[in-house]
């Protein structure tokens, strides 16, 4: 994160977002069980070895990112920039003059009527968190730049009525003084009052209950989902509830069947743990074998020299050892001529081909 001290709109409270955002992101990453976030102390230690300051973390070149990943023993480096962060409030009101009597005053002698006012007031709170997240491989190569934006609203309304009614008739004089009434909720959920926000520390459980906290956590959950979709492995996060009967899941399974099977994640500490983006939805079976292909020599346009495609190069034979879910499995290497990496293509081996190899 860049060096950024954030001030929430409408309050005097300032938060050190540079420290708070990584803390919240690490919590979200740890909740997945799949990702093991680097601690702040580990990061500061690696920065000290490279004589890096907080100010230039967002300006590292490819070689520096690779060196940082090496010091941290990290598979992926996440760099974020806070584009927008704050809460604002809009006030709206409407008033109307009501008059009772009128026609009755003409029909009944000595009858008078008075005007009364009604006012409706309301507030609409808006919390916005906008980030730019960049993901890098341990080699320093950029995987993706993902814009993250979350806006949350909370509305609050109240009514005020003031009235004075007086009438004079044959039966006498009658007076009624209307009292001011105001309707408000006993508790505001989420917390939006600036006076309360001034007392809340960033990245605390109470902060999570604020409108801004809810928007912040939603943005970081989107970051984790983007990391999964762009880097892998393909797993179900704690914030996604799978429903086998849902139409959405059927559509996801149908799309999964159309996609080629690829390596989506290679564990750097255990190279034998290789994840692929296929599972029970594709009908995979334990011990099912695949040939693995990577990009070989490029095919270039004869006139322009532009790369049109690559000749597939077989580098390994693998077998399925574990089916995690409908879209995720683990494979083991049977034989290889080169290292396997993310994006390598898997092609199933037919039964006759397996027999020949044996």
Q: Is 356 helix (H, G, I), strand (E, B) or coil?
A: helix
Provide the pLDDT for residue 58. Answer: 76
Structure tokens at 264: 């989506």
Provide the pLDDT for residue 70. Answer: 93
Q: What's the gap between Cα 213 and its chain centre? A: 13
Q: Is 320 helix (H, G, I), strand (E, B) or coil?
A: strand
Enter the DSSP assignment of 272.
T
Beta strands of the chain (E only): which ranges? 5-7, 14-16, 76-99, 115-137, 142-162, 164-169, 172-177, 263-266, 274-276, 289-300, 307-325, 328-336, 345-348
Q: Which residue has the tokens 């000290």?
A: 48
Q: What's the gap between Cα 323 and its chain centre? A: 27
Q: Which conformational region is residue 144 in: left (phi greater than 0), alpha (psi within -120 to 50 degrees), or beta? A: beta
- CA dist 66 → 62, 70, 167, 233 (Å): 6, 6, 86, 21
SS (H, E, C) 213-224: HHHHHHHHHHHH
Cβ-based neighbour number of residue 248 at 10 Å = 9
Is the pTM higher than 0.85? The answer reads no
Provide the pLDDT for residue 348. Answer: 92
Roughly what angle, to the nearest 10 degrees, separates helices 17-31 and 211-230?
60
b/e burial code for range 333-342 (CB count within 10 A of at least 16 → b): eeeeeeebeb
pLDDT per residue as tens, the chain (358 positions):
333 334 444 444 556 677 778 888 888 888 887 888 888 888 889 999 999 887 777 788 999 999 999 999 999 999 988 888 888 887 766 555 555 454 444 444 544 444 555 555 567 889 999 999 999 999 999 999 999 999 999 886 554 445 444 444 333 444 444 443 344 444 447 888 888 888 888 888 888 889 999 999 999 999 999 999 898 887 888 888 665 556 666 666 676 677 889 988 887 667 777 889 888 888 899 999 999 999 888 898 888 888 888 889 999 999 999 888 777 888 999 999 998 988 899 999 876 555 555 5
Q: Contact 90/97 with Cβ under 8 angstroms?
A: no
Q: Give the separation between CA 77 and CA 201, rounded to whole angstroms.
A: 27
- CA dist 350 → 288, 354, 357 (Å): 10, 6, 11
């Amino acid at each position: 994160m860049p060096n950024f001290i954030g001030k929430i709109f409408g309050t005097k409270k300032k938060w050190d977002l540079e420290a708070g955002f990584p803390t919240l992101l690490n919590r979200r990453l740890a909740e997945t069980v799949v990702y093991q976030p680097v601690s702040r102390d580990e990061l500061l230690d690696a920065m000290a070895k490279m004589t890096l300051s907080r100010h230039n973390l967002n300006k590292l070149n490819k070689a520096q990112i690779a060196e940082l990943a090496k010091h941290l023993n990290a598979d992926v480096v996440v760099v974020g920039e806070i584009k927008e962060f704050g809460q604002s409030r809009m006030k709206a009101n409407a008033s109307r003059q009501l008059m009772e009597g009128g026609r009755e005053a003409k029909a009944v002698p000595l009858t008078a009527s008075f005007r009364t006012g009604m006012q409706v007031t309301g507030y609409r709170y808006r919390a916005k968190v906008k980030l730019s997240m960049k993901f890098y491989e341990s080699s320093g190569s950029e995987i993706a730049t993902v814009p993250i934006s979350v806006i949350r609203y909370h509305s609050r309304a109240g009514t005020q009525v003031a009235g004075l009614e007086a009438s004079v008739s044959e039966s006498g004089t009658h007076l009624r003084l209307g009292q001011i009434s105001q309707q408000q909720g006993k508790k505001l959920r989420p917390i939006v009052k600036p006076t309360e926000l001034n007392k809340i520390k960033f990245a605390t459980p109470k902060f999570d209950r604020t409108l801004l906290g809810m928007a912040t956590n939603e943005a970081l959950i989107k970051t984790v989902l983007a990391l999964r979709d762009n880097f892998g492995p393909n797993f179900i996060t704690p914030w996604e509830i799978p429903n086998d009967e849902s139409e959405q899941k059927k559509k996801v399974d149908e799309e999964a069947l159309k996609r080629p099977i690829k390596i989506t994640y290679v564990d750097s500490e255990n190279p034998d743990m290789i994840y692929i983006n296929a599972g029970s939805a594709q009908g995979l079976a334990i011990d099912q074998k695949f040939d693995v292909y990577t990009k070989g020599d490029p095919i270039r346009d004869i006139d322009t020299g532009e790369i049109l495609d690559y000749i597939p190069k077989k580098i390994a034979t693998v077998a399925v050892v574990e089916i995690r879910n409908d879209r995720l499995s683990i494979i083991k290497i049977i034989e290889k001529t080169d290292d396997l990496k993310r994006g390598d293509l898997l092609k199933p081996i037919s039964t006759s081909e397996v027999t020949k190899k044996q």
